[in-house]
Amino acid sequence: MISKAQIKFIQSLHAKKNRLEQSLFIVEGVKIVNELLLSNRFKIHSLYYTKAFDDKSLKTAMNAYEVDEKTLAQISTLQTPNQVLALVHFNEDVPFVWEENKKYIALDNIQDPGNLGTIIRTAEWFGIDTIICSKQCVEYTNPKVIMSSMGSFLRVKIYYLDLIEIFESKPNIPLIGAFLEGENLYETTLNNAGILVIGSESHGISKDVSEYIQKKVKVPNFGAAESLNASIAHAVILSEWKRQEHGRK
Amino acid sequence: MISKAQIKFIQSLHAKKNRLEQSLFIVEGVKIVNELLLSNRFKIHSLYYTKAFDDKSLKTAMNAYEVDEKTLAQISTLQTPNQVLALVHFNEDVPFVWEENKKYIALDNIQDPGNLGTIIRTAEWFGIDTIICSKQCVEYTNPKVIMSSMGSFLRVKIYYLDLIEIFESKPNIPLIGAFLEGENLYETTLNNAGILVIGSESHGISKDVSEYIQKKVKVPNFGAAESLNASIAHAVILSEWKRQEHGRK
């Protein structure tokens, strides 16, 4: 069992402020924690598991605590806790290094944690290994981001940087962005390399950022819907980007 | 103001069971309620708005009640209530009529309300006007479906039917589905008309349904992610379906 103080400490990490202060975040559920244990990218601080959790190596590890279901429910961020919860250290900052001939995603002020998690998962599916978030984006250590990324946060590098600074320092990077007045995505040619910029849920790509984008595209619409969800626009444009590259091979 | 009994009644509609019993569901927020008021598809039962809500025609309508913010918070399904809440009658059942030469979406056991709402919104964007849900899908009157559909539930017809019965009665319909062993989506040719079948979040397309699907496709993957979110797979395949049709014109 664990102490009341430990319970309180874990609960405090449900809030962003305390995660940032402690440089710790929460990862939950059998599947994602098992992937976490196999990953080298994050250092585990401590683990809390119920009897049902079936990992012998883990149960004998340092800082692993068996708890009852009631305690797990107390420390969990989920409505239906799933056997195990890990506290994980924030990554050491590895500086962002630009590589030519690669595809990147940049997110301009994405606020919804479900969207960020889904974007990370989709980006990994399509072979993206680095996502650049503007500093106003929701932090990826938010429990809802972790859950909706389905483990992809363990493999995709995520940086929080000033987008304008990057665009200023690399003026030759092809930048692609979605705009209502953009070219028809199905009729335009996309460079193999560059950055696809996705704007915020409510305001799209910000004015400052849009000034740097040479390639403005639009996912054609055929109905009365006013917009696409940001994670959907990301997936549709990224898929077309990969399809065009695939066709050139 | 409204009575305690009214508050209790509206609160009871937060639960599926009571929505089905009363044939009533909840629509909230300025933008969606304004779209609802312009739509002919649904009959409004009653409206609850705060002083901030700016629609004079509404305020003088029958069954419209001004409430204070505290009361709105009590009856709302949202964490941040937004000025107005409507109770809406379920649609009269209009029988499903099949039309040749059209694109349809069928959902096989979609459980997550956010996914269903996003699929409705994306489908409308791409010009789909009818979605066929298997009877096991989450009901579209779930408040989270309504919110994430962003008003598209007002314009896309949604049926809950037995998918197998439809496929049996229309054996010549081209059926497209996503399978891990499917053909590369970027290298295959899709019929202009037919049904795109999307499987459940955890199990994909069910065995019974998959036997009817002639066209098995796969969104190519380039990373270690095991799967795509169902609403993302829907968007990527639907976009490619529209792109191919667009290219033929």
User: In chain A, what residues touch B150 (CB-CB under 8 Å)?
Assistant: 225-227
Separation of alpha carbons A178 and A154, rounded Å: 27
Distance in Å, alpha carbon of B40 to nearest chain A alpha carbon: 15
**Is B112 inside any structural domain?**
yes
* Chain-chain contact of B240 with A235 (C-beta, under 8 angstroms): no
Tell me the pLDDT band of A224, cut-offs 50, 70 and 90.
confident
Picking from A41, A58, A89, the residue at the C-terminal end of a domain is A89
* Close Cβ partners of B234 (under 8 Å, ≥ 6 residues apart): B105, B119, B122, B123, B196, B198
pLDDT tens string A171-195: 889 999 999 899 999 999 999 999 9
Of A226, A227, A232, the CB nearest to B232: A232
Residues B135 and B215 in one domain: yes
Picking from B67, B89, B111, the residue at the C-terminal end of a domain is B89
User: In chain A, what residues touch B128 (CB-CB under 8 Å)?
Assistant: 223
Per the structure, the count of domains in chain B is 2
pLDDT tens string B28-46: 999 999 899 888 889 999 9
* Chain-chain contact of A220 with B246 (C-beta, under 8 angstroms): yes
pTM of the model: 0.94
* Chain-chain contact of A236 with B231 (C-beta, under 8 angstroms): no
**Is A95 inside any structural domain?**
no
pLDDT tens string B52-87: 988 766 666 678 999 999 999 999 999 999 999 999
Could you give the count of Cα atoms lying within 13 Å of A34 in the half-sphere of its Cβ? 9
pLDDT tens string A150-171: 999 999 999 999 999 999 998 8
* Chain-chain contact of B219 with A229 (C-beta, under 8 angstroms): no
Separation of alpha carbons B91 and B39, rounded Å: 12
Q: Which residues of A touch B (CB under 8 A)?
A: 114, 118, 121-129, 148, 150-152, 155-156, 185-186, 219-229, 231-232, 235-236, 239-240, 242-243, 246-247
**Is A28 inside any structural domain?**
yes
Separation of alpha carbons B122 and B238, rounded Å: 9
Of B125, B185, B186, the CB nearest to A228: B125
The predicted pLDDT at position A74 comes to 96
Q: Which helix (H) or strand (E) holds B75?
A: helix B69-75
CATH number at residue B115: 3.40.1280.10
Residues A9 and A120 in one domain: no
Q: What is the mean pLDDT of residues A26-35?
A: 93
**Is B95 inside any structural domain?**
no
Q: What is the mean pLDDT of residues A132-150?
A: 96
* Chain-chain contact of B236 with A231 (C-beta, under 8 angstroms): no
3-state helix, strand, coil in chain A (%, to 5): 35, 20, 40
* Chain-chain contact of A222 with B126 (C-beta, under 8 angstroms): yes
Residues B154 and B43 in one domain: no
* Chain-chain contact of B219 with A129 (C-beta, under 8 angstroms): no
Domain that includes residue A132, residue range = 103-248
pLDDT tens string A66-80: 999 999 999 999 999
Residue B92, pLDDT > 80, answer: no
Residues A137 and A85 in one domain: no
